[in-house]
Structure 1
Amino acid sequence: MKDREYQVCTNCVMDTTDSKIVFDEKGMCDHCNNFYTKIKPNWNPDEIGEKQLKEIVDKIKKDGKGKKYDCIIGLSGGVDSSYLIYMAKEKWGLRPLAFCADTGWNLNVANENIARIVKGLDIDLYTDIINWEQMKDLQLSYFKSQVPYQDTPQDHAIFASVYNYAAKNGFKYVITGGNFSTECVREPNEWVHVNDIRQIKDIHKKFGKVSLKGFPLCGMFKYRLYYKYIKGMNIVKPLDLIPYYKEDAIKELHDRFGWERYKNKHFENTFTRFYEGYWLLKKFGYDKRKAHFSSLILTGQLKRDEAVEILKQPPYPENEAIQDMEFVASKLGITKVEFEKMMAGENKTYQDYKSSLTLINSAIKIAQSVGMEKRNFR
């Protein structure tokens, strides 16, 4: 697959940097075909979704009667979570607890956006400060492992933190900002391996030094089965049930709260900005903007020609990326030279470490068969 001729989809901007991508006779990729055949026909951000949303909201209110909060919503300062919690409180009349997992990497714009939203909506905020020594050790372990998906430690800590807190404190509804509108094209597995507890532990065992006891972990089976069927916790994605357009949401948030935009998806975080905007692209040749832009193209929010032009430029200036590299290296307790040696090391993939991929793939196939998962997994 590494020797295949370069090809880019004629409909979106996904290309053969996704080694498993498949094109039809018209040059359209399987991500696009999956959207048109599986997602779009079953996606109802219209009167059907409006009716479903009302039923969900009514149930949340009924189940939460007499409680201080009727749901919990993770708030990162990004557009999806900010718009979601605004809609939940101001438009749907819910009583959410805002939850923030502080991994130590948020940019000021993210923290300021969180503060604006919380103050503007007059809601409570609970912040879970992740143990920095554990966070640092796990992130450094991932860099040493040479895999592309460096955001796994932070990403996992964030979602595990909110799910574990919700289950422990009796929340029946975790409302998330996941949506088809901006995320219908999933990044290929080789770019971003799924949150896999077994792999996290294996990489840490090989390269880590600090015990992860108490670090937020939550495997797929724990939150999809134990938390759902034993603890009675439901994960709800209401943005799929309303018309959700990124630029409209940004304007509304700015007008209502003074919310500030940032350059790219996930760029409200220093580590993620560096990982997605430099490490992943320079070391592996993977540009996550291709998946992000392709989602916007398919949902009519970005023209393909515009995306092609944007992709000709790096995600952010090289001098800023080098400054971020120095900051990331220093925060992780190593020198820039040591970091550059890691970048120059032999590239690895999820296949070089233990994983639960067989079980996860089986679970995904079951979820796809019952309509719970519609995105393109291979």
Structure 2
Amino acid sequence: MDNIADPTIYFDDKGICNYYYGYKEAEKNGILTGREAEMKISEVVRLLKEKGRNKKYDCIIGVSGGIDSTYLSLKAKEYGLRVLCVHFDNGWNSELAVKNIENIVSKCGFDLYTYVIDWEEFKDIQLAYFKAGVIDIEAVTDIAIFDSLDRICAEKNVGFILDGRNICTEQTLPSCWINKNPNNLYAIHQKFGKIPLNRYPAKFKDGKYLRPRGSYESIPLLNYLDYNKKRVKEIIARELGWKDYGGKHYESVFTRFYQGHILPEKFKVDKRKAHLSNLIFSGQLTKEEALLELEKPVYPEGQLEIDKTFVLKKLGFSKEEFDAYINAPSFSHEYYGNNSDTYQTTYVKARHFFGRIKRKLFS
């Protein structure tokens, strides 16, 4: 980790950054091992089966075709849980992700519910984020996932979700790289979007986010397992025919392009530094091994031009428009505020910046 793309980072007199200490605190409070972990898992499984009695499903697992959700599904099968796998289809699935998901449901014997987003509306929100010049374009997907899960839990009468997020591989991430505030999404879309938000899973009233009613309890089961990423890959490849896609969350074409090209080119962010640091913190990687990983290209060899052509065509960008976006000023999420009342004046300033670009962006 460094201060190239994270001005909030700081180091002690030993050269150790604040993220290490943040990880150790999370590990202390959230990760269970040994007998304590075994007892917790038994307690969770017993609770899910008891609450799921006379229902079709004990719990839901959100599946993407990635490592975390795939391993979580395999463990749920081993525990004898009746699972409804839910996949959020935002139009950016890779073929490999689809195949991995098919293997999960067929080999585990689970049902699959696919939530298909309204593409034109979803694309309009993504384009609004591009126009705003903010860093966390993935918030458009993440916010929608959690709101849709709440609805599905209510619809299917399921009270529990097994959550694939975990401390061992996902704790470390600078706050300046993310903003999952739905009110910020609404603010950005109000000024840059063209299509009304009618079908997007997150709902708003009078410019304010309507929080879901909380139909489920989330259980971070991976925090109670011996979760070693390298070993888990070997297990799910052997048991479920899982195929590696080369990067964290690269099961999505857009995420691969966003993390592998947009972040480093426009925002000077190499997300691998956070992901690899997390593996160092959890004892799964040495610093020397991580540095060797960073010497490799950010993007899978030969894939960048293929993905760039696909993404630009799907979003309706010309090459000139996209190049102008990469070179345009970036703005913090806070620049636009978190509701429609707090960023009227800053929007005028944003338009002034964009007006300097000779070619009009995203007309």
Normalised by the length of structure 1, the TM-score is 0.84
How much does 1:221 deviate? 8.2
Could you tell me which residue of structure 1 aligns to residue 125 of structure 2? Answer: 138
Q: Which stretch shows the higher mean deviation, 267-276 or 205-214?
A: 205-214
Partner-residue secondary structure (3-state), 2:60: strand
Alpha-carbon offset, residue 255 of structure 1: 0.7
Select the residue among 11, 32, 50 that pairs with 1:44.
32
The match for 2:177 is 191
Q: Among residues 20, 26, 29, which one is paired with 2:14 in the alignment? A: 26
Please state whether the residue corresponding to 1:190 is helix, strand or coil.
Answer: helix
SS in 2 for 1:251: helix
> Which stretches in structure 1 are left out of the alignment for 5+ residues?
1-12, 357-378
8 Å CA contact retained: 2:37, 2:225? yes
The 5-angstrom pairing of residues 145-294 of structure 1 reads 145-185=132-172, 187-193=173-179, 195-217=180-202, 222-223=211-212, 226-227=213-214, 231=215, 233-294=216-277
Aligned residue identity for 2:104:
I
- Runs of 4+ that moved beyond 4 A: 218-221
Q: What's the secondary structure of 2:41's corresponding residue?
A: helix
> 1:108, 1:318 → 2: CA distance?
18
> Partner residue of 1:360?
none
Tell whether 2:333 aligns with 1:346: no
Displacement after TM superposition at 1:169 (Å): 2.9
**Does the alignment pair 1:35 with 2:18?**
no
> Offset at 1:305?
0.7
Who is 1:5 aligned against? none
Residues 72, 22 of structure 1: alpha-carbon distance in 2 compared, 3 angstrom cutoff: same
> What's 1:119 paired with?
106
- Check if 1:92 corresponds to 2:79: yes
Task: Say which SS state the counterpart of residue 76 (structure 1) adopts.
Answer: coil
Aligned with residue 333 of structure 1, among 300, 316, 320 = 316
Give SS of 2:279's match. helix
* Counterpart Cα distance in 2 of 1:221 and 1:70: 27
DSSP-derived class of the 1:72 partner: strand
Deviation at 1:35, TM superposition (A): 2.2
2:49 aligns with one of 58, 61, 80: 61
In 1, are the aligned partners of 2:30 and 2:167 still within 8 Å (CA)? no
Deviations 1:147-171 (A, max 9, x none): 1111111222223222221133321
Letter in structure 2 aligned against 1:161 = S
Counterpart code for 1:286: V
Q: Which whole-Å deviations, capped at 9, do the CAs of 1:277-322 have from their partners, x for residues lacking one? A: 1101111111111111111111111111111122123311575323
- 1:43 deviates by 2.1
Q: Deviations over 1:101-154 (max 9, x none)?
A: 111101111000000111111111011111000111111111111011111112
Between the aligned partners of 1:336 and 1:140, the Cα distance in structure 2 is 15
Answer with 337-346 or 101-110: which moved more: 337-346
- Matching residue's letter, 2:105: V
Q: Go from structure 1 to structure 2 and tell me whether the alpha carbon gap of 1:14 and 1:237 turns closer, same or farther (over 3 Å shift).
A: farther
Runs of at least 5 residues in structure 2 that lack an aligned partner in the other structure: 340-363
* CA gap 1:165/1:302 in 2 versus in 1, 3 angstroms: same
Q: State the alpha-carbon separation in 2 of the partners of residues 71 and 173 from structure 1.
A: 5
- Pairs aligned (count): 335
Aligned alpha-carbon RMSD (Å): 1.8
> 38-47 or 164-173, which moves further after superposition?
38-47
Query: Aligned partners of 1:41, 1:197: CA distance in 2, in Å?
Result: 28
Report the Cα distance in structure 1 between the residues aligned to 2:265 and 2:229, rounded to whole angstroms.
28
Matched AA of 1:222? R
Aligned partners of 1:147 and 1:349 also within 8 Å: yes
- Cα distance in structure 2, aligned partners of 1:98 and 1:317: 29
Residue 64 of structure 2 corresponds to residue 76 of structure 1: yes
Q: Is the 8 A contact 2:121 2:199 kept in 1?
A: no
Q: Residue 165 of structure 2: SS of its match in structure 1?
A: coil
Q: Which amino acid aligns with 1:87?
A: K
CA distance in 2, matches of 1:317, 1:42: 34
Given that 1:118 and 1:125 are in contact with CA atoms closer than 8 Å, whether structure 2 keeps it comes out as yes
Point out the more displaced range, 163-172 or 131-140: 163-172
* Cα distance in 2, alignment partners of residues 158 and 71 from structure 1: 16
* 1:37 Cα offset (Å): 3.9
| Counterpart-to-counterpart distance in 2, 1:279 and 1:196 | 21
Q: Deviations over 1:309-358 (max 9, x none)?
A: 221233115753233222111101221221111111111111211127xx
